[in-house]
Amino acid sequence: MPKTSESIDDYLKAILELAGPAGERATGSALARHLGVSPASVTGMLQKLSRRRPAWILYRKHYGARLTEEGRRRALRVVRRHRLLELFLCEVLGFPWDEVHEEAEQLEHFISQKLEDRIAVKLGNPALDPHGQRIPRKDGTLADASAVCLDDLAPGERAVIASVFDREPRMLRDLASQGLTPGRKLAVLGRASAGGSITVRLEAKKGTRVLSPKLARAVLVERSNGSSNCGRPRVAPANPRRSKPRHS
């Protein structure tokens, strides 16, 4: 992996995340909010990245930035390191899943390719991180996914949890306390109103759960196709022991 600064890696990752699966543009204002920097700083970095040859991004003022193919591969290689580190911290070092994101953010810039490869082998070349998010392949590509937001499901639909949003530790603790972990099957029973709370029943869990819109939007699911496991394995690091909320 070519050597670049931490900030460049962070920008490429941010554009990848904000652009979504369709590879849409990321606006300067969205990047400023995501990265916690000023709009002027964003403009300067985007101009710098667009001037690189070959360029990592396509950028136009007042329009935003889009990753080139090379930029996308670069961003996905950084994401691979991040998610491998998250899983390593959970499975090998015993970190709870609500703490590993920030740790991995610090470490991802500094591990060598050799260490990355050894971590991958140690973990059995995994496909998913502790939060159910896909780990990019070593060649900088990412497997296709069909997950949708839990908040998009209608009453009566069944699904399996694919992944959860990993950036807010408190939200991760809330998800764990509700049993909303990757691999868990659920059924949508109803919702208060359009955009309101949603009521679900989890397989192998007693009672129902009434989820706020924010919590429901933090969960991605795959609609059930009638199979026993919806083709997705349980993710071990999100077990109740490790992810149980801790009181401060």
Q: Note the pLDDT tens digit of each residue in 61-120.
A: 888 999 999 999 999 999 999 999 999 999 999 999 999 999 999 999 999 999 999 999
Using the 8-state DSSP alphabet, how is residue 134 labeled?
Answer: B
pLDDT tens-digit readout, 196-219: 899 999 998 888 999 999 999 999
pLDDT at 237: 40
Last residue of a domain, one of 21, 48, 67: 67
Domain that holds residue 200: 148-243
How far is Cα 67 from Cα 124, in angstroms, rounded to an integer? 30
Last residue of a domain, one of 67, 82, 113: 67
Of 39-43, 110-114, 239-243, the poorest mean pLDDT is in 239-243
How far is Cα 162 from Cα 182, in angstroms, rounded to an integer? 5
Residue 142 falls within a domain, yes or no?
A: no
Burial of 17 (0-12, 13-18, 19+ CB in 10 A): middle
Dihedrals φ, ψ of 190, to 5°? Answer: 175, 180
pLDDT at 234 over 70: no
Residue 115 falls within a domain, yes or no?
A: no
| CATH label of the domain that carries residue 207 | 2.30.30.90
- How many domains is the chain partitioned into structurally? 2
DSSP H stretches of helix in 52-206: 69-91, 100-107, 113-122, 169-177
Q: pTM (2 decimals)?
A: 0.82
